[in-house]
Amino acid sequence: MTFLGNCRATGIGSLPATDVGEAIASVFADCPDLPYWPQLPKVSAAEGMNEQAAAGLPGLVVEEKRLRVVQTEAFFLGVERLLAAYDAGDTQPAVLAPESAAAFEPFIRQVRRRGTPEAKGQIAGPVTVGMAILGEDGTPILYDAVLREVLTKFLHLRVRWQAERIARAGAAPVVFVDEPSLASFGTPFFGWSKEQVQETLGAVASGAETVGSHCCSNTDWSILLGCPEVTIVSFDAFGFADNFLIYRDDIAAFLERGGNIAWGIAPTDPEAAAAATVESLRERLLGQVEKVEALGFEREQVLRQSLITPACGLGTRDADTARVAFALTRDLSVSLRAEYLGL
């Protein structure tokens, strides 16, 4: 791994904006060193997390507000084209259309115009999407070996397509494959092992060289920390730091192999965000970093292998909360970079 976070500010993905231009302007203002293309679920339901990730998947239909795969003749023809494209390294079947990602192409144009060195993309991962889409028998397609393979290869191409588009704009790509549904790992509602999750996530993440993964609640963090294809593990450091930091050996091994931690330290709850200050979040974060230092790392090293983010995506929040959360994220990033990294 060669990526270094250097305490840069970035976002998880979604914003509550309804104007594409304003959303992109805010991204470059708040996250100038690692901007990301904003997902805008308030612009269209097609920009919902699972809807956006799955758009264009063979056989996908929406029935009674549920995503389903229907195996008609069009499904089988679509799968045939997808598998041929996958074998050929052709990302065309996984292109995100403007109606599913209104901000993507305008963001790419800004990356090119500004000469941005690195830029971030994101998509929901195979576990999360696979649990959200039902097969014809009403079972999530994650648990159907054939449909899971189709989904995994489709999402791999979508990751690869994003990475290629960002690279062609002149920036080094960073693509997150986010897995909020891993919050259900270990419950009766989730019937997979850690190794199965890592294999499937890794197959998708292998579409890009630098890949992060975010879970916005608690999970078995050894899954993401131990996935070889994951460069950045992103978590809600405001609400779940104690749960994350108990994985001492996994964190140490992850950092030793060059992994980075994205500390979601800026709260996205309206009341918590309004009560927070840069100073309070700085103290909170450095207390967490001290626990990582105790594993045998220098503070500067931990911070070099860190990003600073909001705790989660902000697409469902109000605009004021989003502005506050990103002001806190940006200002904390600036403070840490100046004090500890000389940047």
What does the pLDDT look like over 117-144, one tens digit per residue? 999 999 999 999 999 999 999 999 999 9
Q: Residue 298, class by beta-carbon neighbours within 10 Å (0-12 exposed, 13-18 middle, 19+ buried)? A: exposed
User: Of all residues in the chain, what percent carry a pLDDT higher than 90?
Assistant: 96
pTM of the predicted model, to two decimals?
Answer: 0.96
The pLDDT value given to residue 1: 65
The pLDDT value given to residue 188: 83
Q: In what order do the strands lie in the sheet with 60-63?
A: 60-63, 66-69, 133-134
The pLDDT value given to residue 186: 84
Enumerate the β-bridge partners of residue 68: 61, 134
Long-range Cβ contacts of 113-118 (<8 Å, 24+ apart):
114/28, 115/170, 116/35, 116/169, 116/170, 116/171, 117/171, 117/172, 118/33, 118/34, 118/171, 118/172, 118/173, 118/174
| Contact of 132 with 189, CB cutoff 8 Å | no
How far is Cα 64 from Cα 6, in angstroms, rounded to an integer? Answer: 45
Which residue reads 């115009």 in tokens?
A: 113
How far is Cα 327 from Cα 305, in angstroms, rounded to an integer? Answer: 22
Structure tokens at 219: 């999970």
The pLDDT value given to residue 2: 87
Going by the DSSP 8-state scheme, the letter that residue 37 receives in this structure is P
Structure tokens at 192: 């997979």
For 8-340, CATH gives 3.20.20.210
- What pLDDT digit, counting tens, does each position of 38-79 carry? 999 999 999 999 999 999 999 999 988 899 999 999 999 999
How far is Cα 255 from Cα 191, in angstroms, rounded to an integer? Answer: 29
One DSSP character per residue, 68-121 reads: EE--SHHHHHHHHHHHHHHHHT--GGGPPPTTT-TTHHHHHHHHHHHT-SEEEE
| Contact of 59 with 151, CB cutoff 8 Å | no
Mean pLDDT (10-residue bins), the chain, 343 residues: 94 96 97 98 95 97 93 96 97 96 98 98 98 96 96 98 98 98 88 93 98 95 98 98 98 98 98 98 98 98 98 96 98 98 96
Sort residue 204 into left (φ over 0), alpha (ψ -120 to 50) or beta.
Answer: alpha
How far is Cα 61 from Cα 288, in angstroms, rounded to an integer? Answer: 44
The pLDDT value given to residue 280: 98
